[in-house]
Structure 1
Amino acid sequence: MRIAATIFLTDLTVSPTGLARALEQRGFSGLYLPEHTHIPVSRTTPAPMGGDLPEEYGRTLDPFVALGQASAVTERLDLGTGITLVTQHDPIALAKQVATLDHLCGGRFTLGIGYGWNVEEAADHGVEWSGRRELVRDRMALMRALWAPEPTAYEGVYGSVQASRAYPKPVRPARDLGSGRTLHGPRTLIGGAAGPKLFAAIADHSDGWLPIGGGGLGESVPVLRQVWEDAGRDPKDLQVVPYAVRPNAGKLAYYESLGIEEVVLQLPSAGEAEVLRTLDEFAPYL
């Protein structure tokens, strides 16, 4: 099992370069970073974990800039977002960012995507909350048109792009989606809570699931596998990557019994000394 890590990197924490070097030196497999452009102070949306929203949510570094730094000081460490808020980006610009990072790191990038939880943050980006799932699907299709090997046009409900020269291309080869469709771009995982809409989206336009916390997988993973196979996807291609996990030996062994091959552990949003101490506490799981 590959053991990666995630952290809210901020202007007050360990640096991206320091953390990336430490992860690679210790043998961790990857670094995933979350995204928030801003947190409106007048929000009414409850914090996803309940209680007050921790300060680091409003101080997060831009994940693409931070991962670019991490890429420059590592050779083997996988890099990913957990998650990119696709609705809050211009898709043509985001396609360029993703392809550039994937090119520069030699194909080590995983694009974790999701629908978000903060209504006020999304509203400042002009997002209509009820339509955010459809908007994500449309923007991902547009981005994949730009990642296709030949100039490919896309006309969607929310946006379009002409057949264009768009380089660099992501490193990963196209994957078969069945019914004559292919999936272009880096490995893409969709985050979110288990449910029919999410599982349909995963089977339709991704490589797998990024479940936060990793609870309830014994019941949900078989359901997802059935949805995946019913969509004509190859069973061996489905990837489930539990995210922001608080580890113990029993939990990791249970994940392995479910066929899970990668897990992302939660690091504290803290300075270098505390983060390195936590990495050393996690090291036995490697």
Structure 2
Amino acid sequence: MKLGFSLPVFGRAAATPGGIARYAREAERAGAAGLWVADRLLSPVSPEVPYPGYDTMPEEFRTVQDPFVALSVAAAVTERAVLGSSTINATQYQPANLARQLTSIDVASNGRLLPGFGIGWSPEEYAAVGVPMGERGKRLDDVLSLLETWWTRELVAHEGVGYTVAESHVGLKPVRRPPVHLAAFGERSLRRVAERADGWLPVWSVPEQIPAEALKGMVAKLRADTEKAGRDPQALGVALRVNVARGIEAAAIAESVKKIVEELAPDHTFVDLNYLADSVDEQLDLVGRLLELTAGS
């Protein structure tokens, strides 16, 4: 099994000086197939919409690294691991700057970037960046269109949602067109995956919250809808994030991961360790144990 892990971008481990570089280097050396980031801007004291499953926000969100910086650092100290995001809230960033950042990371990593996008759920975050939350869907469609142009044409011009890119020379191109994956569970967002994305970003929880058979059925339906949209259903990738409740032993995590990978056969799988351990060393210890426990699967 090729297993990846989150970079320490949330919680106390995220505040470790030099921690991301050391973690990325040592995790890849141990055998991690991928290194992944997520994205949080704010941790409101009294959120209008609490984090799912919480009355407020997880304590880990009080200390957060920038996902683009984290991926850039990881790109500089690794050679093989996929560098992914599950997810970056793409609609909270100025699109032209986003396109340049992603392209730069892909070039720096020699084509290892797997950008995974979501649209977020926090009204406070949207207010902080001055973006109307009600425009999330059309802004994501716009970002996808701009990225396609930015990555495939030498002359780039684009009339976007609230911005304009005048016809310009864009000579920096990714090593290969990064496969854009989208987080989606609603009907409209799943349709966007089928019609426009290179892959889907499902989530598996330990302990189990959604039956494996249900996720497997969603993948099958997505691929059927992808075919209806005139696209190759087998080319639709799956990058699975595994969320784990604090206090669960490594052996139980490994067994659950092996179960869902056998059922779902994702292209990429990673375990989010940001909520399980408070230091870089503790997270690296978990990386080693989980790789050992899943070896040969």
| Normalised TM-score (structure 2) | 0.85
Residue in 1 that maps onto 2:227? 229
Matched, 1:266 2:272: yes
Q: Deviations over 1:37-79 (max 9, x none)?
A: 2233342112123234222213110011111111111111111
User: Which structure 1 segments of 5+ residues have no match?
Assistant: 173-184
Q: Deviations over 1:125-172 (max 9, x none)?
A: 122222211111112212322222321322244433222212321111
Matched, 1:186 2:178: yes
Matched, 1:4 2:8: no
Q: For the residues of structure 2 that align with 1:10 and 1:224, how far apart are their CA atoms?
A: 31
Structure 1 stretch 8-17 or stretch 101-110: which is displaced more?
A: 8-17
Q: For the residues of structure 2 that align with 1:158 and 1:252, how far apart are their CA atoms?
A: 45
* Matched residue type, 2:6: T
Alpha-carbon distance change, 258 to 163 in structure 1, aligned in 2, over 3 angstroms: same
Residue in 1 that maps onto 2:294? 285
Residue in 2 that maps onto 1:249? 255
Partner secondary structure for residue 164 of structure 1: strand
Residue in 2 that maps onto 1:198? 189
Q: For the residues of structure 1 that align with 2:179 and 2:277, how far apart are their CA atoms?
A: 26
**What is the 5 A alignment of 1:204-223?**
204-213=195-204, 215=210, 216-223=214-221
Q: For the residues of structure 1 that align with 2:45 and 2:188, how far apart are their CA atoms?
A: 30
Q: For the residues of structure 2 that align with 1:123 and 1:154, how far apart are their CA atoms?
A: 25
* Matched residue type, 1:280: G
Q: Deviations over 1:169-227 (max 9, x none)?
A: 1111xxxxxxxxxxxx41111113x2321211112221111112263312311111111
Query: Contact 2:11/2:60 (CA < 8 Å) preserved in 1?
Result: no
**What is the 5 A alignment of 1:3-152?**
3-10=3-10, 12-13=12-13, 15-152=19-156
Q: Which ranges of 4 or more aligned residues in structure 1 deviate by more than 6 Å?
A: none
User: Which structure 2 segments of 5+ residues have no match?
Assistant: 245-252
| Normalised TM-score (structure 1) | 0.88
* Matched residue type, 1:263: T
* Count of residues in correspondence between the two structures: 273
Q: Deviations over 1:12-42 (max 9, x none)?
A: 3151111111211111101111112223334
Query: Contact 1:189/1:209 (CA < 8 Å) preserved in 2?
Result: yes
How far apart are 1:116 and its partner, in Å? 0.5
Residue in 1 that maps onto 2:250? none
**Where is the helix percentage greater, Structure 1 or Structure 2?**
2
Q: For the residues of structure 2 that align with 1:137 and 1:159, how far apart are their CA atoms?
A: 14
Query: Contact 2:182/2:200 (CA < 8 Å) preserved in 1?
Result: yes
Q: For the residues of structure 1 that align with 2:200 and 2:66, how far apart are their CA atoms?
A: 23
Q: For the residues of structure 2 that align with 1:29 and 1:191, how far apart are their CA atoms?
A: 21
* Matched residue type, 1:201: R
How far apart are 1:92 and its partner, in Å? 0.7
